[in-house]
Amino acid sequence: MTSEQIAPPHIPIAALRKLARHFGTPVPGFKWVDQLSGDTPGRYNEIDGIRLLTSPVPAVPYRDTLTHEFAHHLTWSRTPPFQKEPRSHGREFFEALVQTVEFLYEDPSTYVWLYEIEQIVRWWNVRQSRKPAKSA
């Protein structure tokens, strides 16, 4: 296991604080866990916050999982009280994920888009094709 796959406990907390400060949200709860239901390396809910597996999926670095789960937190934070809860991987989530990746990663293409849900990959590719080219 490499250092990119698992991090000391303070690293995710620092990243979450940085993200929360940037996006103006509360810092979500965080906990390393040994087991999660399903075959996912992370989980988010609005009460408990973010949970990451201590043994992550080898092809998905912990930072990418943390980024994905923070995007869920950001989506929930932007949902007004008493409004229908946001779809788990709907348009609001896609926007939040891209904003989180663009803020946290020097090169957003290094995020593991390949391992994301097919809809997100398709949405990201369409979004990138519509961006104006950067001038040199």
pLDDT tens across 37-55, in order?
766 777 787 778 888 877 7
With a CB cutoff of 8 Å and minimum separation 6, the contacts of 103 are 19, 22, 23
Query: Is the model more confident about 58 or about 90?
Result: 90
Question: What CATH number matches the domain at 10-129, 3.30.2010, 1.10.3470, 1.20.1250, 3.30.70?
Answer: 3.30.2010
pTM beyond 0.95, yes or no: no
Question: pLDDT above 70 covers what percent of the chain?
Answer: 81
Q: What residue segments make up the domains of the chain, in order of their start?
A: 10-129
Paired residues of 43 in beta bridges: 51
How many other C-beta atoms lie within 10 A of the C-beta of residue 29? Answer: 15
Residue-wise pLDDT tens digits, 80-101: 777 776 667 778 888 999 999 9
pLDDT at 105: 93
pLDDT at 34: 79
Rounded Cα gap, residues 86 and 80, in angstroms: 10
In the chain, the DSSP E strands lie at 30-33, 42-45, 49-53
Residue 128 has pLDDT above 90, yes or no: no
Paired residues of 51 in beta bridges: 31, 43
* 3-class DSSP state of 52: strand
Half-sphere exposure of 98 (CA within 13 A, CB side): 15
Pairing of strands 42-45, 30-33: unpaired
